[in-house]
Amino acid sequence: MTDIVNPSDIAVALKYDGQHAPTITAKGSGNLAQEIIDLAIANDIPLDNNPELVKILSSIPLGEEIPEALYIAVAEVIAFAYILSDKVPENFTNK
């Protein structure tokens, strides 16, 4: 196992369908991380910079759901993405 010295050189992409826990859809470091970021920017996908969370998420295998212990932290990222995109989740009601 290699220790990652600079977590800012890591990127992780998540997919959330609103029904299941978010899954890891892409991850990488160095040039691959930059490609993931560039692809997100090109497709207007909001980015969040949280090096500690990215480092933890990068340890999860591709295609796997995030563990329950990370639900709140990832929910904050998803909420941030919704706000930036000026979207609301399907079936959302503001009471």
Q: What's residue 94's pLDDT?
A: 58
Q: What's residue 91's pLDDT?
A: 58
Span 18-34, average pLDDT: 93
Q: What are the DSSP E strand ranges found in the chain?
A: 10-15, 23-29
Q: How much is the mean pLDDT over the chain?
A: 83
Domain range summary for the chain, segments of one domain joined by +? 7-84
Q: Is the pLDDT of residue 15 over 70?
A: yes
**C-alpha span between 60 and 23 (Å, rounded):** 9
Q: Is the pLDDT of residue 39 over 90?
A: yes
- The separation between the first and the last C-alpha atoms of the chain, rounded to the nearest angstrom, is 48
Q: What's residue 6's pLDDT?
A: 45
**C-alpha span between 46 and 36 (Å, rounded):** 12
- Which of 16, 88, 80 has its CA nearest to residue 50? 80
Residue 92: band (very low, low, confident or very high) from pLDDT cuts 50, 70, 90? low
The CATH H-level superfamily of 7-84 is secretion proteins EscU (3.40.1690.10)
Q: Over the range 11-46, which residues count as b (16 or more CB within 10 Å of their CB) and which as e?
A: bbbbebeeeeebbbebbbbeeebeebeeeeeeeeee
**19 or 92, which is more confident?**
19
Token pair for 80: 């941030």
